[in-house]
């Protein structure tokens, strides 16, 4: 997991409202179809580095998708609201690196599940700016 992924998982896992909904079901990269819901899946979409005047990387710009997954739309919205409250405008220091985060809602989707039901995926798209 990248430092950006570590930071997102740490922030979400340390937040009581998010933890009350998903417990410790926060994963990076993928979710098994049989996993218990609700859960959160963090996907690192891209990492770009900005160089300083000396030509060395000084800032990583990490694009992240955070999928808030639940069995009903209303519950997925509640989870997405909790995640957005944690990440939107967050800033600080993580493992000696300064960071700031912007986060926005994306469109929710309904996905069939193997048991004949469905899951609602409500993504939060985020940009993480972190010292390289």
pLDDT in tens, 8-27: 999 999 999 999 999 989 99
Q: Give pLDDT, residue 53.
A: 66
For the stretch 118-122, contacts whose Cβ atoms lie closer than 8 Å and that sit 24 or more positions apart, written own/partner, are 118/71, 119/37, 119/69, 119/70, 119/71, 120/69, 120/70, 120/71, 120/72, 120/73, 120/75, 120/76, 121/67, 121/68, 121/69, 121/76, 122/67, 122/68, 122/69, 122/70, 122/76, 122/77, 122/79, 122/80
| pLDDT reported for residue 49 | 80
The ranges of the chain with pLDDT < 50 are 1
Predicted confidence at residue 1, as pLDDT, reads: 43
pLDDT of residue 56: 66
According to the model, what pLDDT value does residue 55 have?
65
- pLDDT of 23 reads 92
User: Can you give the pLDDT at residue 3?
Assistant: 82
pTM: 0.87
């Amino acid at each position: 997991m990248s430092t950006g992924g570590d930071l997102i998982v740490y922030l979400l896992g340390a937040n009581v409202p998010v933890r009350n909904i998903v417990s410790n079901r926060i994963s990076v990269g993928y979710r098994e179809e049989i996993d218990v819901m609700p859960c959160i899946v963090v996907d690192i979409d891209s990492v770009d580095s900005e160089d300083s005047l000396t030509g060395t990387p000084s800032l990583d710009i990490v694009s992240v998708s955070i999928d808030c997954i639940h069995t009903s739309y209303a519950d997925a919205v509640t989870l997405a609201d909790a995640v957005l409250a944690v990440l939107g405008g967050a800033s600080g220091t993580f493992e000696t690196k300064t960071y700031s985060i912007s986060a926005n809602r994306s469109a929710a989707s309904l996905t069939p599940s193997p048991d004949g039901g469905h899951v609602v995926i409500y993504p939060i798209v985020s940009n993480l700016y972190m010292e390289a």
